Structure 1
């Protein structure tokens, strides 16, 4: 099939016009639908990263950089009339009860979702 593509160009430039029009329409449609051109989608699939010409138009890098893991939340405790927060829990024993109810780190499912590759198929 790929060997037959150059044969489309043999008659003259007129034979290439419908092909280039179809490719241009496909690229415009893909930018509107998935935010990247057809070649960008191929590069993204091969590189397993989010790559797009749209990012270059915005003055960013071609491929989205790897996201750093989120910073751990501050450890906050009640104090007399206020709240005290630290980057790390205090070394006091027993450890004062924190104000946050949630987890201090991501679960395995959250981390897998955060590091999932585009388009989420790998």
Structure 2
């Protein structure tokens, strides 16, 4: 029993050390590199805007629809799937006025599902 406990602690330490060496804490967010050329991330950004527009069409709040430009920043986190935190550049449909949004979407590839959890206007980052 004691040998099993020591082995499990060692295994946990090894996994945590390797995860940290690969750029993140287990369960922590990691930056997605080369976002502008990452087709999966850009497709997720487009999906988020499409979902937002679909909800706007079905509500009576009068908000304007958006056109997708690109994902400009992304982070991901392994949860029960992969949770993506995206900063999406859009334009108000027909006016070309640019607007950024922060989106959170969870992807579960083994069941072929995506779910938009949050889509809100970005707040300006504080200047350093």
The structure number with the bigger radius of gyration is: 1
Same fold (TM over 0.5): no
More helix by share: 1
Q: TM-score, normalised by structure 2?
A: 0.25
TM-score by length of structure 1 reads 0.25
Structure 1 or 2: larger strand share?
2
